[in-house]
Every structure is written in structure tokens, then in C-alpha cells.
Copies of this chain bind each other. A is one copy, B any other.
């Protein structure tokens, strides 16, 4: 690792009218900062000769204080450059270079008691990050951010891949429209109706002349998530912060800073996916050790509930109260998934196939009426149902070399969870659990707070910290979308925070394009627990009555490809053991594929259309390739020039079968093997909604 930081320039006062201009290290991007005559800060961004962002306003609205968006003068300018390389605990590549030029402009408001606000820019060759900083100062100690006034003014009416600005959910399919056509009025809200022109980040944009622009944020800490309000006339975006229960956005104490606002830009779509800008803008971990953190694959007592073969709840009663209920007296409904025998079946299956863990949902009391009641006391996280034998399962799992993964559904009663977290983690340690999947379904308690507001952001981060202190890994569902904090909390393996595979089980589902958009949007911030690997595509076979017409909107081969195209260090083999046992040849790919990587190549990508990714498994010479398409059949030709020259590999190609298509014939697949090397070109035929997965293993001589 090399580290190189030096101060290029420091000045004092008298800059008000001057523009500050910075070129990225490789001279690809140019950032300009300027104050208007009225002292309004603005910035703009160019890629070569093309405008990425037109002049866009910056500013902060504080409660009870003059707005920090005009009447400002430049008090100081600091410039520096930085170049080093760091090693992630786990990830898509072995090392990450962090090379940027920095410009920090200290703004001062004479009419506002000389309050100061710093705007710090970090300009990379693949994008820009900037944040606001409130330095320690006499006239700004405790303050409340009412709103942030950051603009991202696009030069034209770009194509946008967007979801509505629901403060409490991001589990939407993506709409693809021009900026001028953004309007979510007709979209059924998942949780909270959004302003029709308010959308979420990561926002993927594409210009007519082929510029790919991604807008998001990095290191969301002690601050609400940023939504974007679209000016459909002028193609401008303006920040809107998710409000707290009081309506204000953030309660802060100086010195403090906002998350980084990120703009990743390239004229090549794969470069957007390869960008490490967001990770670079996060802080390194402070955990003293990380060797207890293990990327992993898991199965779980989970999909059988989604396909109505089993239930989370033990009894079919309702109107249960957590305290005062004698759970042993409830009448079991006979199809409770998390029973000891069934969990043992999953443990045996995981052990047999070399999968590390077994998730069990519905193990703990409270599922009889857990959701949608805005009720505080739902779960206690330590009391198993009568048919779930914690000790017996601990012993059995240990004897099989498999870990059980804990499940903590909070039903968004977060105050209740926080009261019980310490005891819950003690329980986990006592019974040998080292990872927990958390859930936040429903409306937040404290009532009036939102999933994406400051209070909840602090909760998620505190949970990552607390689990980390207990050497526990965590996978958060229904949380705020990630912003690269897995660099700081490498035990935070993944989040859901988007529309996962589960929606295919009980809703109109995820359209075939969905997984080609996710990497350009939700995954820009971090890994997703999408739960791929569904082999039984048509769900009627599990429960003809209740699953009528329900299906996964991909082919089986595409489900395999997702293990490569949707990056995550924790991947579920989401289908039932019996589904895999019917197709052991296809299941072999899931058994083989890695979850931690030394290298990643985005071979082809277009948001909403297709994606082909190759990754080199951590510490081995094996490569895995995933290729997926939207609803259109497509031929993807890939050259294996990433392989080590001179080495022969056996490629196992899991491809869509003849006549396969996501809707008519999704389970048709074919597996072929061939010897390849770095000069080989493969032609992959992707069915409508289809894909292909390839394992590449060096041939031992």
C-alpha cells in the first residue's frame, strides 16, 4: 500500500468571485466551484468536453437560522491529492485504489454570525464525491437541518431508471422513463405514497449521447437518506432528506458532516459497475480483527413459507400478546416450517453439499400476528416455539459442521428490538450462532420515524457496530439502501433494501429486466441478499391453489447466473432442498460458485438490457461467469482473455435449453463442458428472460 497526500494550496479570504477548478488525477473529469454574485455556491462537472452536470446549487437550510445557501463568501480554499491502495476484508477485487484530487472550500456567512460551512470535493477519474462539513465554531453547536439544497442539474432529458421516493421502502420495480416523464402517481405504494416526482437513489441515468451517470451517496451516517425531487421541465434534481417524526431532517452537533453525494460517470456502462468510488469514500473499519468474518452460502427454512408450503407462525390464532401467552398451549397448525425435524433436514442438506449455513425463520414466538399492527411488543428474540429445540439443533448443526443463521424480524418495532438486542446477541453466542438476518417489515416504532430517516440510519449503523463487537455477521432486510458502509462494518455482509426474488412468489413479481437494472442502482451502494437460485420456477407445483399463476420471471439458467451478476458475500441457495435434489447437475454450479473474489470484469452491460460479469474466486485460479438478459433473447459473445495465458481450463456452461423462455419454458437448461483458454471466444445464447452461468477451472496436469 502506498499513501500520498500533500497539500497543494491553502489560501485565506478574497476568493468570492473566483471559480475553483479541479481536474481529476487522470484528467478525465473537471469540477468547477463558483459563488454567484449573491454568494450562492454552485458546482458543475464535465467529462472531457461534455457537461455531466450543469451549474448546480449547493446549500443547507437550518431550523431557526439563516439559510446557508446565499450570502456566503469563500473564507479559505484547501486543495490536495491522494493516492493509495487498500485491501477489502472481502469484495469483488483484491485491492482497491483510492486516487483523487480534493478541494475543500470554506464558506462563511457574514450576515449569519459568520457561520461557516465547508464543501469538500473529491474528484476521481470515474466520478465526484462531495459533502458538507460543519466545522467546530462558536455560533453553530447544536443545530437542526431542515433540508439540504443540493442540485444535480442534468444537461438534457436523460433516460432514468427510478423507483418512487417512498420513505419506508425501496422494494419497487424500476420505471424507465425520460426525466421529463418521471411520475409515480399511478404506482401502488409498497409502504408510503411518494410525492409523484420524488425518486430514490442510486439513480441511474443515460444520456442520448451515451453518457452513463449514477447519482447516490456514500457513508450515510447520522443523517437521513437523500431522495431526489425531479424538475421535469429543466431536468434538474434536488435533494430531499427523509424527515424525522418532527418533520425536520437531521439533529446534529458540530463538528459534523453529511454523507458524500456521489456522481459516477462514464461513457462505458461497465465502468460504472466497476467503480469503487463509493467504497473509497467510506471509512476503513475500526474492528481490531476481521478473521471471524466469513463470506458464505446458505440455505434456509424460508422459501417454503413464501410458496405456501409452510408457515412462519406456529398456530393459526391471531390477537396474541407476547407477554402472558403460554405458547406451549397453542394449537399447532401442523405446517410450521421452523420445526426441529425440518431444520435438521436443511442442516443435513447443507452439510452434504458444502453450504456453510442454514437460516431459520419463524423459530421464535410472536408470528401469529406480527405484521401491520404498529404494535410495540411483538417478538422477544429469545423464546423458541415449542417445536423448535435450540439445544438439539445446536448440537446437530455442530456435528455436521454447519452454522445456523439467526433471524430477528423486528416488525419495525425498533425500540422493542433495541431493548432486547443485548440479550438476543447473548442468546446467539450461547447457542453457537455467528450471523443474524434482521428484518424491518412494517411501520417504524418510534412512531412517526421512517426506515430511511436519521434515527433509523443510526439504528442500522449501531446494529452493525454492536453485532461487530460481538463478532457477529449481519444481513439486514427492509433497511435503508447501502452506501458502502460495509467497508467500515465488514460484518455487515449484505442488505436487502430492494425488491428481492421473494416478490416473484406472491406479487406481480420482478420483470425479467429487473436483475439487469439492480447492479446499476441498488447494488452501487453495496451487496444485496437477493436470494437467487430458484429452480422450481413455476410455483403452482408447491401449492396449486394459493400460488396460481405465480412464478419467477427468469429461466433456471438465469437464476444460476445471478450468483455472479448480483454481487454479494452472502448468497442464499433459496429454493427448497427437494428442488435441488431433482436437478443435481444444475445445483453443482451453486455448490461451486464462490462468494468472495480476487478480481471482477464487467464484460458487457447495459442497464435494463443485459449484463455479463466474470469473477475470479478468492485465492484460487477459478473463474465464474454470469450472463443475463431482460425479456429479450440475446446472443452474448465473450472472450475469455481474463484467464491466465497458457493455462487450460475446463469450462462448464449452464445455459438456457432449447426453446427456453422465462414464461413458457423456464426450466429448460443444458450443461456442456469444454476446454478453454485465454484465447477462447464463447457464444452464449440467452433465452427471453434467460441467462448463462459458467465455471472455469484450471485443468490439473
Contact = CB atoms under 8 A, between A and B. Distances in A.
Interface string A379-391: 0000000000000
Interface stretch (A4-12, A418-426, A527-535, A640-648): A418-426
Nearest to A418: B419
A437 to B, nearest CB: 21
A217 B375 CA distance: 25
Copies in the complex: 2
B141 A245 contact: no
A246 B14 CA distance: 49
A373 interface: yes
A415 B374 contact: no
Contacts of A321: 253
Given A245-B446, A455-B446, A251 B374 contact: yes
Interface string A125-143: 0000000000010000110
B251 A447 contact: yes
B142 A374 contact: yes
A210 interface: no
Contacts of A27: none
A318 interface: yes
A421 B423 CA distance: 12
Which of the four size classes fits the interface of chain A?
20 to 34
Interface string A41-85: 000000000000000000000000000000000000000000000
A141 B246 contact: no
Interface in A340-379: 369, 373-376
Contacts of A142: 373-375
A254 interface: yes
A142 B373 CA distance: 6
A458 B415 CA distance: 12
Contacts of A136: 319
A interface, over-half SS: loop
Contacts of A253: 319, 321, 373, 375
A631 interface: no
A37 interface: no
A448 interface: yes
Nearest to A458: B376
A318 B448 CA distance: 31
B376 A251 contact: yes
A397 B375 CA distance: 45
A244 interface: yes
A86 to B, nearest CB: 23
Contacts of A319: 136, 141, 253-254
B423 A245 contact: no
Interface in A244-264: 244-246, 251, 253-254
22 contacts: A136-B319, A141-B369, A142-B373, A142-B374, A142-B375, A245-B245, A245-B246, A245-B446, A245-B448, A246-B447, A251-B375, A251-B447, A253-B375, A254-B319, A376-B458, A415-B415, A415-B418, A415-B446, A422-B422, A446-B446, A446-B449, A448-B448
Interface of A: 136, 141-142, 144, 244-246, 251, 253-254, 318-319, 321, 369, 373-376, 415, 418-419, 421-423, 446-449, 455, 458
Q: Which 7 A-B pairs have the closest CB atoms?
A: A446-B446, A245-B448, A142-B373, A245-B245, A141-B319, A246-B447, A448-B448
